[in-house]
Structure 1
């Protein structure tokens, strides 16, 4: 067995923007990012793509890293294409069964075969949060594929949007979740409020019907920037007199103040002081543990 310093650990991804799983590629000798490899997973044999070469962590996982079986051969890649064609057929047949059984709200999103064809995952979504009885559906599908081990995977709205792909609600050609997000963060309405984003549903809702993932992208920067800024409607002292804060330009540290007989003027945060003395009361950063 190779020493820890000689181990070649690689990160493998099984879908374009999927999670990365680490495997031992030491016995392969040389592996490069972008290489296609064959590995054994809990869902059968799969072809993945090497996404990164990593330094072995100080403490390996219990039982060590699973080894990569081999670099994918032209035959492996051709076989994967054949199974992809069968996946489309599986989606069509399963969708027919959903219709025949009158399972309203259930939609078959996709199907995924293992490389050896022994394992089939049926990906579906449901319009209701209530648990639906899919016993009849599972029995019907098992009759369609009697020699295959079938797994049923319920996808949430965000996962469906990621899987289906397409244009983002903002007009971006490819949705963030389909382009580069490997995990979903917890998003709250408070993130939009802290950034002064309009709370109009069309402005903060993604194609999945949930709050947009991008609300978190600049959230920490806004929280940090507003620490030294007063809240709206607070009374402050400015070089032009005392007035009331009516607006904030958080990222550049500017404060708009309405001053009697002067009107609305803009000042930097260094130019203002609270009218009652002390330091301007800043918005507290949101508690990110609350989603």
Structure 2
């Protein structure tokens, strides 16, 4: 839990630095609302201090015989069993007298132990070393109890600050003979052993946790006396008898079932008694539940499962008629009207227009068909290569558009040969890069031995 509400002026942090109102730093906290009042008489001031152990899981009263001034949260050394123990001051001043009166402890009892001194650094070091042994001692003690086949559960082990005494808290349904167990514990841990039986509710208070309400357990924060809880409290409050919902982390019925029980009992006094069954013409009506908030009683008829709410006055009247052997015709149920305004459900508004699955399917099919056509067009352009220019100039048929040009008569091949004189190849200078590339071909056939270019063949039979 957070420590932002600490009012002691000490650094924040969950290390028992102060008195958090949330109870996170020190469980079972008691707010000292008399701490700021001036002391009128020092001789009549309370000389008893409340000391808490193991983060508030156990508290006891000790006498301040040296009249030292202690504040809440101070560590002090107190009398222990053949040694000393270290505890934390949880309450001082006049508020301690109220706690003594509440728990029935005599302020001037001679058996009350004393506070020795303020805890020194050596006392705190020894206390921390022995506290570190508690977890290992708990595991070992459970193993030993299991070997002896004892029907008990070891809940917690608390070792004294000087390490000379250890208190073993256990849970058992029946009486347990642990004489042999004590001997083994004393030889195993080399301490004076004290066995203390606790209930499942006390164990939950020592362990702590979060309840179904979302807050810390009552037994771990403020509840000290545990009253018996039974299912009758749930019936008076019209709760369903569900063991899983009514049980707490300890496995017993929740303590909070008793918190509002008195209020329900006071409200139920106005309801008539012996009205579980009433007679009408349709049959015997059976009582289902009582609503103390609306002062209504709900009945059910045998021929239907409908519930009929009746007022207290109507039930008393029907009950008096039945005592006179008169059976009324109807129950005259009351119409229950809730005071809360009805929430108007928002109607569906089509913002984007009328859309159906068929329209979406049609759009999808169109999209797929368009994609197929595009792919076919791409394949067609890749397969049909462009034709030569001569083919483009020639008409493809009588359907060719445009005026046809007159066809010129072809000249004989002799005239074509005469018009085109033979062309001589002239060697043009080449760049040096190409000369190096063609060097290998020129070495095979020197330029002097090259043959002259062949003259063009003519189609004249006389020259042949």
- Return the TM-score normalized by structure 1: 0.72
- In the other structure, the counterpart of 1:190 is 232
In structure 1, distance between residues paired with 2:131 and 2:80: 18
Conserved? CA contact 1:110–1:123, under 8 Å: yes
Q: 3-state DSSP class of the match of 1:226?
A: helix
Gaps of at least 5 residues in structure 2 are: 1-40, 279-284, 302-306, 321-464
- Return the TM-score normalized by structure 2: 0.48
State the shift of 1:86 in Å: 1.2
In structure 2, distance between residues paired with 1:225 and 1:76: 57
State the shift of 1:114 in Å: 0.9
Bigger fraction of residues in strand: 1
Q: 3-state DSSP class of the match of 1:40?
A: strand
State the shift of 1:85 in Å: 0.9
Gaps of at least 5 residues in structure 1 are: 236-242, 278-291
In structure 1, distance between residues paired with 2:82 and 2:221: 24
In structure 2, distance between residues paired with 1:89 and 1:259: 61
- In the other structure, the counterpart of 1:151 is 194
- In the other structure, the counterpart of 2:179 is 135
In structure 1, distance between residues paired with 2:310 and 2:56: 44
- In the other structure, the counterpart of 2:246 is 204
The answer to whether residue 96 in structure 2 is matched with residue 53 in structure 1 is no
Q: 3-state DSSP class of the match of 1:224?
A: helix
> Is the alpha carbon distance of 1:76 and 1:227 closer, same or farther for their aligned partners in structure 2, counting shifts above 3 Å?
farther
Over residues 73-129 of structure 1, what are the superposed CA-to-partner deviations in whole Å (9 max), with x where a residue is unaligned? 444333322111111221232233234x24253332221111111111122333x42
Q: Which of 293, 296, 308 is the aligned partner of 1:255?
A: 296
> Is the alpha carbon distance of 1:224 and 1:37 closer, same or farther for their aligned partners in structure 2, counting shifts above 3 Å?
farther
State the shift of 1:245 in Å: 6.1
In structure 1, distance between residues paired with 2:50 and 2:164: 25
Over alpha carbons, which structure has the higher Rg?
2
The answer to whether residue 76 in structure 2 is matched with residue 37 in structure 1 is yes
Aligned length, in residue pairs:
261
Which of structures 1 and 2 has the larger relative contact order (alpha carbons within 8 angstroms, sep 6+)?
1
Over residues 154-194 of structure 1, what are the superposed CA-to-partner deviations in whole Å (9 max), with x where a residue is unaligned? 332222222233343x2646432223322222223322222
Conserved? CA contact 1:43–1:114, under 8 Å: no
Q: Which of 157, 160, 170 is the aligned partner of 1:111?
A: 157
Q: How does 1:164-183 map to 2 (within 5 A)?
A: 164-168=207-211, 170=212, 172=214, 174-183=216-225
Conserved? CA contact 1:14–1:48, under 8 Å: yes
- In the other structure, the counterpart of 1:282 is none
Q: 3-state DSSP class of the match of 1:117?
A: coil
Conserved? CA contact 2:52–2:60, under 8 Å: yes
> Is the alpha carbon distance of 1:216 and 1:66 closer, same or farther for their aligned partners in structure 2, counting shifts above 3 Å?
same
> Is the alpha carbon distance of 1:8 and 1:253 closer, same or farther for their aligned partners in structure 2, counting shifts above 3 Å?
farther
Conserved? CA contact 1:17–1:180, under 8 Å: no
> Is the alpha carbon distance of 1:105 and 1:228 closer, same or farther for their aligned partners in structure 2, counting shifts above 3 Å?
same
Q: 3-state DSSP class of the match of 2:79?
A: strand
> Is the alpha carbon distance of 1:72 and 1:246 closer, same or farther for their aligned partners in structure 2, counting shifts above 3 Å?
same
Q: 3-state DSSP class of the match of 2:176?
A: coil
In structure 2, distance between residues paired with 1:253 and 1:72: 61
**Root-mean-square deviation (CA), in Å?**
3.6
In structure 1, distance between residues paired with 2:213 and 2:42: 50
